Structure 1
Amino acid sequence: MQNLPTTLPAWLSLLEQRHFKEIDMGLDRVAAVKNRMGIQFSCPVIMVAGTNGKGSTCAMLEAILMQAGYRVGLYSKPHFLDFNERARINGENVVDAEFIAAFDRVEAARDDVSLTYFEFTTLAICDLLAKAPLDVVILEVGLGGRLDAVNVIDADVSVVTSIDIDHTDYLGDTREKIGFEKAGIFRPGRTAICGDPVPPQSLIDHATSIGADLWLFGRDFNYNGDKQQWNYGGRSQRRNSLGYPSLRGANQLLNAAAVLAALESLKDVLPVGAQEVRTGLVMVDLPGRFQVMPGRPVVVLDVAHNPHAAATLAQNMDNMGFHAYTYAVFGSMLDKDIDGVIAQLKDKIDHWCVTDLPLPRAASAGQLEQRLLDTGVVPDTEHSVQTFQNPEEAYHYAMSKAGENDRIVVFGSFLTVAGVMRARRSAMHT
């Protein structure tokens, strides 16, 4: 074996260059290496897929289970600033040395099997979580479900949060096709939860055909509430007088209800008390999901990158109160429904700062500018479209123009939000 990298950045750099395709669907290669490594979990595993809401659902599960005193492992992605964000044990990011050791183990086991960056890092993180003394593990699916590398693990409880049109090149161009892909994380005889209030028939049919124990929103679990509090009702458990999750946004009660359904299904092995649910929901924290930063002008960070998420962002913006002008820092991948995203937000934004992103499959700022003009955004004294080479430049420009009663909304790709997070972090350190 050649000399392996000895630092985490060197390892990640090697993995980025190694496999010929960034996304290479199929589980055969990953499953072969997983079996060689003998990766097995000795505690319950909760797997979460969905178009939107995966991160919020995982964060709520983690917060509630930690409040209940359990040792919790979490795999989530992508990361904003540090790769270490992808694996957490008891709320703390895993340190470099543990990642390096896990990467070494994958490298030793893979032999001549070629793995993508995502496959290699998924195996490493699953291996280090499987070796840690944990009571429960939460795994967030990357893309789709059926063919995602995370799906080589058999989950005890599988949650599908929402199903909408995204990643059409890989998952299909209808909710029925995408629903089938998401349902691929369900397992025979095990709990399968769907938090989408209008589940595609393909998801229901697949769960039925494999004999999964399907929990549907509105049939097996539900919520109701007023402005002060809300209640959850499941198959055999009620939770009353709950506070709203600290994560802001219109869909968070749907996500929270699916979380409580998952916990209800595990109540014999991982009992959780009412106060632990309440505290967990209030304590939960998730960067980049309608995250309103302190200070003036108001800055909102949101990874909305498809029409479904953009509609939610628009609704949340409407609930924020009056702002004289709204500036947008927007960058997107080219394969997204960019026109659909713009359509949801164009009436809410006065000044667009569109940006290039550091990936070959990103839309250029020039392409985004053209899409805005084509969809009827007309620059005048009150409206503008400016192009920038990176999110940091776009953000600094918006900050220089915005008054203290204005707001800046940063959205689109994770890379857009990460760039602005970096700019804010470096500004704090200068």
Structure 2
Amino acid sequence: MTYQETIEYLYSMLPVFHRDGEKAFKGSLHNILELCEHLGNPQNKFKSIHIGGTNGKGSTSHYLAAILQSAGYKTALYTSPHLKDYSERFRINGISIDKANIISFIESNKSIIELIRPSFFELSVALAFDYFAKEQVDIAVIEVGLGGRLDSTNIITPILSVITNIGFDHVNILGNTLPQIAFEKAGIIKKNVPVVISEYHPETALVFKKKAFEESAPIIFSSDNIKVIDKEINSTMLLVDVFYKNELLYSNLESELIGKYQLKNIAGVIQSIFELRKIGLKISDDELLRGISNVVKITSLKGRWQILSDAPLMICDTAHNEHGLSIVLDQIEKLKVSKKYFILGFVKDKNVDEILGMFPKEAEYIFCQAETPRSLASEDLIKIANKHQLSGYSILNVNEAIEIVKKKATNEDLIYIGGSTFVVAEILNL
């Protein structure tokens, strides 16, 4: 099979979450355990760090991978979904898996794939574990796909677990209260394995503490120890001061990830490095700072408050739920721009009514539709927008929308593209 034929085979054979929604979520670890048993349990052959949470787990995963790589460790990184190509999900030292390896894995395991019929995500996780084990990585940073307790990644026993935050997302699967969602995310807390919580509410903290107590897992709330204060945000960097227990720890720390929401992520990442040092990993302050300041270069991360042009200021971001978008909108509110244009598309299973209610009424809106069956129809978006007095019209293709808006916008204006990972993924010059 060619690479394209391999990808088409996977999409045609297996349930895919971005296409099929919750039908693709198995709610059981049976398939992934059976797959990995067939592969010789590769998940037990390398050290790992497990990252869960509603928002920020992707950025946190990339920060940690960049720091570990800067410290000289052969570092694997598994994230999802991909933006441009499936191979992006599997990286070692910032380099995506060779497509020949994907072809070989599928061809070698076709019989078990067709017997078990795993989901697309289950198979991807098995591929990641198999690849990382064969490449003999020193450590793998593994991002949870959805939830935690029943997520396919949750068959690893990591040396550290990290939970970034809890917000309302995938409520049809994870529950519609913060404690219910926190219970699912807390499922990655393992026996005697320390867990860092980057951000919490009083009601979620109780859930985490209970689970940590049951597992005899040391629990550390980073926001109780570390404060990250932003000093400057521009189109190329975020400049912060970091305080530990009110004492200045790092002055003028630069981050290539520049959304203001990275402040909480950075606090969780620094606390995680402190915990990894206790376990015995050798990571100097210089290596920590180098990883944070060069995270995009080291890991090739895209789509997090990414500046696509300066005049007009054009930004894309993969934030797609109330918690993530509220932080993005707060940051946009502080920008000194003239007119704001929002190019937005969403998927059907988000609370779009509540989300659009957060957006400013004085902006101009263009509603698009990513090429996935889960996309919310742009005409339905317009109806919801009208309910919130948002003035807009429909251009289905995000790139056509960008070109039309660029012709209208002045150099002093803002163009924001987002609402869905799948919309951002379709931007041509990403």
Given the two structures, how large is their TM-score scaled by the length of structure 1?
A: 0.89
Partner of 2:295: 284
1:155 is aligned to 158
Asked whether the equivalents of residues 48 and 139 of structure 1 are also in contact (C-alpha less than 8 Å), the reply is yes
| Residue-by-residue CA offset, 1:352-408 (whole Å, 9 max, x unaligned) | 11012222222100010000001222xxxxxx4111222222222212222222121
Which one is further off, 197-206 or 294-303? Answer: 197-206
After superposition, the Cα gap between the structure-2 partners of 1:106 and 1:171, relative to the gap in structure 1 and judged at 3 Å, is farther
Equivalent residues in 2 for 1:16-27 (5 A)? 16-19=11-14, 21-27=23-29
Q: Which residue of 1 aligns with 2:255?
A: 245
After TM superposition, give the deviation of residue 260 of structure 1 in Å: 1.8
Deviation at 1:343, TM superposition (A): 2.1
SS class of match (1:398):
helix
Aligned to 2:226: 222
Among 288, 297, 314, which residue is 1:299 paired with? 314
- 1:232 Cα deviation (Å)? 4.9
Q: Distance in 2 between matches of 1:292 and 1:330?
A: 16
Deviation at 1:262, TM superposition (A): 1.8
Q: Residue 7 of structure 1 aligns to which amino acid in structure 2?
A: T
3-state SS in 1 of match to 2:343? strand
Q: Is the 8 A contact 1:30 1:115 kept in 2?
A: yes
Matched residue, 1:381 = none
Instruction: State the alpha-carbon separation in 2 of the partners of residues 17 and 225 from structure 1.
Output: 48
- Of the structure 1 ranges 155-164 and 106-115, higher mean CA displacement relative to structure 2 is found in 106-115
The aligned amino acid for 1:165 is F
Letter in 2 for 1:250: K
How far apart, in 2, do the equivalents of 1:206 and 1:151 lie? 15
Structure 2 stretches lacking a partner, 5+ long: 16-22, 232-238
User: Is 1:324 matched with 2:338?
Assistant: yes
Deviation at 1:71, TM superposition (A): 1.1
In structure 2, which of residues 258, 271, 275 is the aligned counterpart of residue 265 of structure 1? 275
How far apart are residue 157 of structure 1 and its match?
A: 0.8
Q: Paired residue for 1:255?
A: 265
- Comparing 364-373 with 394-403, greater Cα deviation is found at 394-403
Task: Report the AA paired with residue 324 of structure 1.
Answer: S
Is the deviation greater in 186-195 or in 241-250?
Answer: 241-250
Aligned partners of 1:94 and 1:169: how far apart in 2? 33
Shift of 1:187: 0.3
Amino acid at match of 1:320: L
Matched with 1:28 is 30
Which of 220, 228, 244 aligns to 1:233? It is 244
Q: Is the 8 Å Cα contact of residues 291 and 301 (structure 1) preserved in structure 2?
A: yes
Task: Please name the residue that 1:340 is paired with.
Answer: 354
CA contact (8 A) 1:76 1:87 kept: yes
CA distance in 1: counterparts of 2:413 and 2:192, whole angstroms = 53
1:224-272 per-position Cα deviation (integer Å, ceiling 9, x unaligned):
54636423538xx994335042211222122112112222222143211
Kindly provide the CA deviation profile for residues 1-27 of structure 1, in whole angstroms up to 9, marking residues without a partner as x.
xxxxx2222122111122354332211
The 1-side partners of 2:147 and 2:263 are apart by 23
TM normalised by structure 2 equals 0.89
Q: Which is worse superposed, 272-281 or 203-212?
A: 203-212
Distance 1:232 1:66 in 2: 24
Contact 2:228–2:267 (Cα < 8 Å) also in 1: no
For the 8 Å contact 2:46–2:136, the answer to whether it is kept is no
1:66-105 aligned within 5 A: 66-105=69-108
| Contact 1:326–1:407 (8 Å) recurs in 2 | yes
1:415 paired residue among 410, 413, 422? 422
Which aligned runs of 4 or more in structure 1 are off by greater than 4 angstroms? Answer: 108-111
Offset of residue 29 of structure 1: 1.3
Contact 1:68 1:272 in 2 (8 A): yes
Partner of 1:351: 364
Query: Deviation per CA, 1:71-92, whole angstroms, max 9, x where unpaired?
Result: 1100111111111111111111
Q: CA deviation at 1:121?
A: 1.4
3-state SS, counterpart of residue 63 of structure 2: helix
Q: How many residues align?
A: 407
1:295-334 Cα offsets, whole Å, 9 max, x none, are: 421110011111111111112212332x221111100011
Q: Which moved more, 1:177-186 or 1:100-109?
A: 100-109
Higher deviation after alignment, 387-396 or 360-369:
387-396
Instruction: Report the equivalent of 1:428.
Output: none
Provide the C-alpha distance between the structure 2 equivalents of 1:64 and 1:202, rounded to a whole number of angstroms.
30
The equivalences for 1:18-57 within 5 A come to 18-19=13-14, 21-38=23-40, 39-57=42-60
After superposition, the Cα gap between the structure-2 partners of 1:238 and 1:272, relative to the gap in structure 1 and judged at 3 Å, is: farther
Q: Which amino acid aligns with 1:307?
A: E
Counterpart check, 1:392 vs 2:399: yes
Secondary structure, counterpart of 1:79 in structure 2: coil
Partners of 2:117 and 2:230 in 1: CA distance: 53
Q: Do the aligned partners of residues 19 and 403 (structure 1) sit closer, same or farther apart at CA in structure 2, a change above 3 Å counting? A: same
Higher mean C-alpha displacement, 335-344 vs 104-113: 104-113
CA RMSD of aligned residues (A): 2.1
Change (3 A) 1:390 1:162: same
